[in-house]
Amino acid sequence: MESSSCRSVHLPLELLSEVLTRLPVKSLLRFKCVSKFWVDLINTPYFISSHLHNYSKRRRRINIIQLRLQRRYNNDGCFRTLHLDSAGNQYTAEARNLTVPLYDPGDENHYVFVAGTGTCNGLLCLWLPEEPLVFWNPSTHQYRHGPILECSTNCGFGYDQNSQDYKFATMIYTIPIKFRYTCKMYSLKSGSWCYQHVFDSDSIPVGTAFVCNGAVYWAFTKGVPFEYSYRDSWRLDCLDNSLCGLFRVGEQFDVWMRKNDDWSKLFSINQSVNACSGTMSVKLLAYAEDGRKVLISKSWALHWYDIQEKTLHKIDVVHAADSTKLSESLVPL
Amino acid sequence: MARKNRNPVGKNVDPEAQKKKTRTLTLKSSDGQEFSISESAAVLSIAIENMVEDDCAGGVIPLPLVDGGTLARVITYLNKHAEDGASDEEKRKFDEEFVSGMEMGVLFDVVLAANYLDIRGLLREVRRRIADRMKNKSVEWVRKTFHIESDFTPEEEEQMKKEFAWAWEGVDSDVDD
């Protein structure tokens, strides 16, 4: 046996960086203490983006965050991690409770509810009525608060590659003037509103907005594209950074994806299991590693939808309401 | 390991691939040990494949950055992955066992060799294994294992520890493995 353990270990920077990108955020926050060289490496934007890619993708892991937020007094969020195998058949769940960083968690009689959430690169944005916006990275526990919103419907959050900035977008309905909307954007980098546009429209925005490919997208009631009619309710969703449209036609949900300015139909889900729920109750979460299955949340449960077999498999996770996909990430706030 | 049905397909065998199986190469480690290996196994290393293609190999391929003990391990890996009829599941199991018994120093030697010889699968496996071993370890364990001296003042270290105190919860005790 050679005594390799007493030899000096010097991994080339690239190799060391590759190894470290496969560690969970918790370990990396601790290992910032190893040396000045390590803290500098772990803090570089290049390392942060490689980690985001390597840790979630290569580890075949999908993190799901579930928020339960009722009162200030009971402002806990449940952070559940699902570890999935490559085919998406098996999983183990691990739950960890985290406190949602509200602006003023003091008054226990005040009821708070989350009007909507947006996630991007491990950051979670919460919009609440009459409350400052919350930007939160649950992996690092870092958070920031934004402005109080005039209107907390039809909001969205995402990354804008053009300005390399995270943006929050909202659409405000100006009450005295019929069909007049103001769309506004908030920049996380500058910590201020950075864009405003007023326009008139005779239709109404529905659901959450999505920021992708350097643009913000809203679905409008009257702008239903393709073969669908205004009677078919629809809304936008996002799957692996691609914009999707969910259309409800009777008992069926059609999922379309937009790629390079073209829309194509991905699959249809038969909704016969629970006919009373609307489009809003189905949420696209993630692809399985082989791309043949899609993880969706529907009727308070998580399911794998097999695109070829056209079958739904329920995953037995207790209380799967309000699930959102959220990667583990070092993205700073 | 004797294996029946060495070539279950039997037909359409690429004559070039067949030749590679029978041709052997000699690899020479930094400490002068020589190892014979079939060409089909050796070329799983992109670096060796390039040397063979450029025909600069001659009779013996010198690998001055890999010691004999490490090279022997790498060759075991290459032979398994070049084996006819070994299923993906079998290879996966082999990979798992191959790295599981290695101490950290050996893992470092193998990852450096896999990096130098450009063996993607082995590199991926060992990198993942090193990360798994490190995951729940203390800062002190990492410093000792990577031979790093802290260049923080005790105050700076205390400050950083305070900032992410929760990241210190659930850390394994420092036992060598």
Of the pLDDT bands very low, low, confident and very high (cuts 50, 70, 90), residue A76 is low
Neighbours of A137 (CB within 10 A): 21
Residue identified by tokens 């353990």 is A5
Q: What is the pLDDT of residues A149-168, one digit of tens each?
A: 887 788 999 999 888 999 99
3-state SS, residue A277: coil
pLDDT at site A225: 63
Are A117 and A67 in contact by the 8 Å Cβ rule? The answer is yes
pTM score of the predicted model: 0.84
Listed residue (A38, A122, A59) closest to B127, CA to CA: A59
Are A55 and A88 in contact by the 8 Å Cβ rule? The answer is no
CB–CB contact A27 B108 (8 Å): no
Among A27-31, A42-46, A209-213, A276-280, the minimum mean pLDDT is found in A276-280
CB–CB contact B128 A22 (8 Å): yes
| DSSP secondary structure letters along A135-204 | EEETTTTEEEEEEEPS--SS-EEEEETTTTEEEEEEEEE-TTSTTEEEEEEEETTTTEEEEEEEEE-SS-
Q: What is the pLDDT of residues B83-135, one digit of tens each?
A: 888 888 899 899 999 998 899 999 999 999 999 999 999 999 999 999 999 99
Residues A154-179: b if buried by 16+ CB within 10 A, e if exposed? bbbbbbbeeeeebbbbbbbbeeeeee
Mean pLDDT, chain A, rounded, equals 79
pLDDT at site B1: 43
Q: How far is A329 from chain B (nearest CA, A)?
A: 14
Helix (H) or strand (E) holding B115, with range, is helix B104-117
Question: At what angle are helices B104-117 and B68-82 packed, to 10 degrees?
Answer: 70
Residue A19 has pLDDT above 60, yes or no: yes
From chain A, pick out residues whose CB is under 8 angstroms from the CB of B67: 2
Helix (H) or strand (E) holding A42, with range, is helix A36-43
Q: Which of B131, B150, B167 sits opposite A19 (nearest CB)?
A: B131
Show which of residues 144-173 on chain B sit within 8 Å of chain A, judged by CB atoms.
Answer: 145-152, 157, 160-161, 164, 166-168, 171
Residue A327 has pLDDT above 90, yes or no: no
From chain B, pick out residues whose CB is under 8 angstroms from the CB of A20: 131
CA dihedral B28, B29, B34, B40 (to 10 degrees): -60
CB–CB contact B105 A7 (8 Å): yes
Residue of A nearest to B172 (CA): A27
Q: Which of A18, A23, A36 sits opposite B134 (nearest CB)?
A: A23
Domains and CATH numbers, chain B: 15-134 (3.30.710.10), 139-168 (no CATH)
A86 or A180, greater pLDDT: A180
Determine which of B119, B164, B169 to mutate to test the interface with A (most A C-beta atoms within 10 Å).
B164
Whole-number Cα distances in Å, A211 to A170, A215, A217, B132: 11, 6, 6, 35
CB–CB contact A8 B128 (8 Å): no
B135 to chain A, any CB pair closer than 8 A? The answer is yes
Whole-number Cα distances in Å, A311 to A84, A127, A267, A295: 18, 34, 11, 12
Topology of the domain covering A60-325: Neuraminidase (2.120.10)
Residue of B nearest to A140 (CA): B164
Determine which of B130, B156, B160 to mutate to test the interface with A (most A C-beta atoms within 10 Å).
B130
Domain boundaries along the sequence of chain A: 9-59, 60-325
Residue A294 has pLDDT above 80, yes or no: yes
Amino acid at A201: S
CA dist., res. A219 & res. A229, Å (int): 14
Residue A175 has pLDDT above 80, yes or no: no
CB–CB contact A38 B148 (8 Å): yes
What average pLDDT does range A191-209 have in this prediction?
A: 86
Q: How far is B14 from chain A (nearest CA, A)?
A: 30
Q: What is the pLDDT of residues A251-288, one digit of tens each?
A: 778 888 888 878 888 888 876 545 445 555 778 888 88
Of the pLDDT bands very low, low, confident and very high (cuts 50, 70, 90), residue B67 is very high
What average pLDDT does range B143-156 have in this prediction?
A: 92
3-state SS, residue B150: coil
CB-based burial label for A229 (10 Å; 0-12, 13-18, 19+): exposed
Query: Count of residues for chain B?
Result: 177
